[in-house]
Structure 1
Amino acid sequence: MRKQFLTLTVMTLAATSALAADRLNPADLRRVTKARESLVPAVAKEFGPKARFIHLFGQGQGMLAGVVAEIPAEPLGTDELPLLAIVRYDESTGAVRVVAREFKYREARSVGTDVALLEGDGTLRVRDAHGQDRLLARGVGGDLFPTAKGDALVATLLMNSEGPHETAVGLIDLQGRVKVLADGPGVDATPSISPDGRTVVFVSGRTSVASFYVTNVEGAPARQLTNVGLENWMLFGGPPKEFVPPPVSTHHMEWLNEDVLRYNAGGGAFWKLNVRTGHAAPDVGGEP
């Protein structure tokens, strides 16, 4: 599943990566630099000099970082994901604290005062402030994104690999109830849920071009927001001006309000998407 979706995403991102350096928002660069200043020494102290943080999950006081024991000597294949230990990083203070020391997780997100931890086999558990774990769901593919209230999260669900629907988008509450919201042919993935807990945006390759779709927590029929009318062959030789790149991952998304989603489109280039109108544009930002 991951390999096929990455292939689709890489094709659509390749043509825009050369422009990414010109679209960097200075505020984002400062954010990453500040995170490195706190995380690099803390990770070395807690996990040893070979350990590195390679992922940031979320924002603010609830931000988490994924740590690998060491960087692999050889590049990993697209279906191979390094298993992570998890630390909490507070953007406001720079404080770093170990959440899960074992190198056994693919993703993690803060959900209220708890932390959702996705194991390598697709088992999703939640860990409370006392370090106690409980099972939430199995067969979770990743792309965890919590509600603003911290009472649930949306995620990519793994479907039957033999069928036409490889993944679906689902809502998982803290009682472990799972509701499928979008399940189209091929891959539906990378979901995000609005601050009011009603609107769910995700990425699908059902038209051969990775595009944003929108639904809601009732599972209303999905509506295509971006790249309407585009087909994969139209991207070769450079994307048309109306092309909107997909996000790198759920973990680089943040809602600016109920209607506007901000996301990383690759190479540090952030975009803003209005989930009501489908209008999208690069978020260049102001002066350093």
Structure 2
Amino acid sequence: MRKLFLCITALAATQALAADRMNPADLRRVTKAREHLVPAVAKEFGPKARFVHLFGQGRGMLAGVVAEIPEQALGTDDVPLLAIVQYDEATGAVRVVDREFKYREARTVGRDVALLDGAGNLRVREANGRERLLAQGVGGDLFPTAKGDALVATLQMSGAHKHETSVGIIDMNGRVKVLADGPGVDATPSISPDGRTVVFVSGRTSVASFYVTDVDGATPKQLTNVGLENWMLFGGPPKEFVPPPVSSHHMEWVSDDVLRYNAGGGEFWKLNVRTGAAAPDLGGEQ
């Protein structure tokens, strides 16, 4: 089954290739993160180690570190396993969370850290250092609630009656609830600050599009790319096409109604999850 670990472009490449399209505030964040993380990773893990993913924002931002960049490009289904460090955007402080190269993703959830290993086991490391298994069969795309009492994620479904992946919510007691399970892939969820609205990406209409549901599992509604089919994208997408996010790790909510996300190459878009209105967020100070 296709793994749903959606790679973020390495920050060095992002800065070099998309600086002309990036909001100045985002460019500053990228530059600052590199300045602090590059020397800290080299000191803690050796000169061949590189940080290749950022998870979340602010004080609770985490970074995934590979032991070294492979000489040959990885296949589509190959997942580089990561060690995890924490990076505080405000102070620039970096600390090691776990030195073992065995994780696919990590996210700060309240005072705790959720760690997803290569086998799909989701564990929580509490502030006191105690670790416990939270859920199994988790595909990735972790996104915590603002309260830190749960997180939404892509789930790996099994059985003939199940689709390839689904979107679910996992509370901190390990209870898992499926919110969306349409044909094919439902993935990349995010949950609004008020803890009610869940948006995710689905290809159920043949074009990757945003859908919206809620924590009660209401019937999903398509928000973007309504009426588009995949053949319409040949030769370049039409002007009404709204690109999907590269991952859930670079999503942030401007309000309970507006989601800001990385659409690739460092270019951010804003999406109104009530109306489906979306547009690039390319310029201006923040």
Q: Residue 41 in 1 paired to residue 39 in 2?
A: yes
Identity %, equivalent residues = 83
Shift in Å at residue 238 of structure 1?
1.1
Aligned twin of 1:269 = 267
Give, in angstroms, the shift of residue 21 of structure 1.
5.7
CA displacement, residues 121-175 of structure 1 (integer Å, 9 cap, x when unaligned): 0000000122221010000000000000000000000012755610000000000
Distance 1:3 1:237 in 2: 27
Q: 5+ unaligned residues in a row in structure 2: which ranges?
A: 7-16
Aligned to 1:152: 150
Distance 1:130 1:67 in 2: 23
Normalising to structure 2: TM-score of the pair?
A: 0.93
Q: Conserved in 1, the CA contact under 8 Å of 2:87 and 2:95?
A: yes
Q: Which residue number corresponds to residue 179 of structure 1? A: 177
Equivalent residue, structure 2, for 1:52: 50
Deviation at 1:4, TM superposition (A): 8.7
Cα distance change on mapping 1:173 and 1:5 into 2, 3 Å: closer
Kept in 1, the 8 Å contact 2:153–2:168? The answer is yes
The 5 A counterparts of 1:23-102 are 23-102=21-100
Residue 287 of structure 1: CA displacement?
Answer: 5.8
SS in 2 for 1:70: coil
* Conserved? CA contact 2:211–2:222, under 8 Å: yes
Letter in 1 for 2:272: N
Instruction: Check conservation: 1:23, 1:283, Cα contact below 8 A.
Output: no
In the alignment, which of 188, 202, 205 is matched to residue 203 of structure 2? 205
Cα separation, 1, equivalents of 2:114 and 2:60: 12
Displacement after TM superposition at 1:22 (Å): 4.6
For residues 74-106 of structure 1, give each alpha carbon's deviation from its aligned partner in whole angstroms, at most 9, with x where no partner exists. Answer: 100010011000000000000000011110000
**2: CA distance, partners of 1:267 / 1:161:** 37
- Provide the residue aligned with 1:218 in structure 2: 216
Which amino acid in 1 is paired with 2:45? F
Aligned 8 A contact 2:5 2:140 in 1: no
Aligned partner of residue 181 in structure 1, secondary structure: strand
- The residue aligned with 1:2 is 2
Change beyond 3 A, Cα 1:125–1:164: closer
Q: Report how many aligned residue pairs link the two structures.
A: 276
Amino acid at match of 1:23: R
| Candidates 232, 252, 255, aligned match of 2:253 | 255
Out of 106, 109, 118, the position equivalent to 1:108 is 106
* Cα deviation, residue 20, structure 1: 5.8
* Counterpart check, 1:118 vs 2:95: no
Higher helix fraction (1 or 2): 1
Q: Point out where structure 1 has 5 or more consecutive residues left out of the alignment.
A: 7-18
Q: Say if 1:173 and 1:48 are closer, same or farther in 2 by CA, change over 3 A.
A: same
